[in-house]
């Protein structure tokens, strides 16, 4: 079991498979990209599967989410998914992706055992997409969403970040489009995980702003805390249901008290929080020949030291030195 001093138990593992990405989203990284991790520093496929096996078999992990950077850039992704889906007990598996390449890989990922996907799509306007991501790939994302739905990687969830002056007027249109196509829409407050440290609390589109915008077109009924559990998204029934919309208010409505996540970076570090400023090295233990029991002990000790919360509204908050592309969303 992975438990901390506040009584929270981690059952959800986020695994970053690569720090690389084929987009350059303005809220994540600079246009020229970043200094990528050297290949020898990355965990191998076998190392990733071994660590996930330890987490599932010895530490109580029930769900594994593959992230990046962009996980579809990982050459061995399908094989990793297949091996993880074969573990005992079998964890639920999901993938967070920008959708580029999903048209080509969705069917193979489903056959390998992937359960569902989250796809980032911040706008329905190709020109705004190009401005936000610095790439002209909007059509590829739309086709990737369609392929995921057809392959049965459901529910297909769309993650959208709204930026002032760019797409902050699109919340109702995005929700209407998601409902029309059978996707589940989620909005995420912009978080301070950009490599250029340009995030400003006073300039972000808040959960309150998003809900106000949605209510100009839809009737929203809160789903309630019992239904939410430890999920990061607060959810509302849209026009009485059955469709739902979620809002992840990491900044203005932190959900740290119910957090059930632990994170493994692409280079084998354990992060107890997306906003953590400290990491615990599992890669070194792995490569020095440590047995599974020792790796599990190190992991438990790291989680025991997890802090109470991110404190994003605290003036003393220190932004992590790794961008989101390096630690997984």
Q: Buried (b) or exposed (e) across 204-241, using 16+ Cβ within 10 A?
A: bbbbebbbebbeeebebeebeeeebeeebbbbbbbeee
Phi first, then psi, for residue 67 (nearest 5°) are -135, -170
CA 138 to chain centroid: 20
Q: Does residue 46 sit in helix, strand or coil?
A: helix
How far is 93 from 286, CA to CA, in rounded Å?
23
Q: Which residues belong to the annotated binding site for S-adenosyl-L-methionine? A: 27, 69, 120, 191
Query: Contact at 8 Å (CB) between 232 and 223?
Result: no
Phi first, then psi, for residue 111 (nearest 5°) are -65, -30
Q: Which residues belong to the annotated binding site for GTP? A: 14, 65, 96, 157, 261-263
Q: Which residues belong to the annotated binding site? A: 14, 21, 25, 27-28, 65, 69, 96, 120, 157, 191, 256, 259, 261-263, 273
How far is 217 from 195, CA to CA, in rounded Å?
35
Rounded to the nearest 5 degrees, what angle is found at the Cα of 126, between the Cα atoms of 125 and 131? 100
Q: Which residues belong to the annotated binding site for [4Fe-4S] cluster? A: 21, 25, 28, 256, 259, 273
Which tokens in the block code for residue 76? 């061995």
Q: Does residue 143 sit in helix, strand or coil?
A: helix
């Amino acid at each position: 079991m992975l438990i901390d001093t506040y009584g929270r138990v981690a059952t959800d593992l986020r695994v970053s498979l690569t720090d690389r990405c084929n987009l350059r989203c303005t809220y994540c990284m600079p246009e020229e990209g970043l200094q990528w991790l050297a290949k020898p520093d990355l965990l191998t496929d076998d190392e990733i599967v071994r660590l996930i096996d330890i987490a599932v078999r010895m530490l109580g992990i029930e769900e594994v989410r593959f992230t990046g950077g962009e996980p579809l850039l990982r050459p061995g992704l399908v094989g990793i998914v297949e091996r993880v889906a074969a573990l005992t007990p079998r964890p639920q598996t999901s993938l967070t992706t920008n959708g580029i390449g999903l048209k080509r890989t969705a069917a193979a990922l489903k056959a390998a055992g992937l359960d569902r996907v989250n796809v980032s799509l911040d706008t329905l306007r190709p020109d705004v997409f190009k401005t936000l991501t610095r790439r002209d790939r909007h059509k590829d994302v739309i086709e990737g969403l369609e392929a995921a739905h057809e392959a049965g990687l459901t529910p297909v969830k769309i993650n959208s970040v709204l930026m002032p002056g760019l797409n902050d007027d699109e919340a109702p249109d995005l929700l209407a489009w998601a409902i029309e196509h059978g996707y589940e829409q989620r909005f995420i407050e912009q978080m301070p995980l950009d490599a250029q440290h340009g995030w400003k609390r006073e300039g972000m589109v808040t959960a309150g702003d998003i809900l106000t915008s949605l209510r100009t077109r839809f009737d929203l009924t809160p789903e309630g805390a019992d239904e939410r559990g430890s999920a990061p998204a607060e959810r509302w029934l849209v026009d009485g249901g059955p469709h739902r919309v979620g809002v992840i208010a990491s900044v203005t409505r932190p959900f740290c008290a119910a957090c059930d996540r632990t994170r493994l970076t692409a280079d084998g570090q354990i992060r107890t929080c997306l906003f953590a400023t400290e990491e615990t090295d599992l890669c070194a233990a792995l490569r020095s020949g440590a047995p599974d029991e020792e790796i599990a002990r190190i992991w438990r000790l790291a989680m025991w030291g997890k802090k109470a919360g991110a404190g994003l509204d605290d003036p003393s908050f220190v932004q992590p030195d790794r961008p989101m592309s390096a630690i997984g969303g």
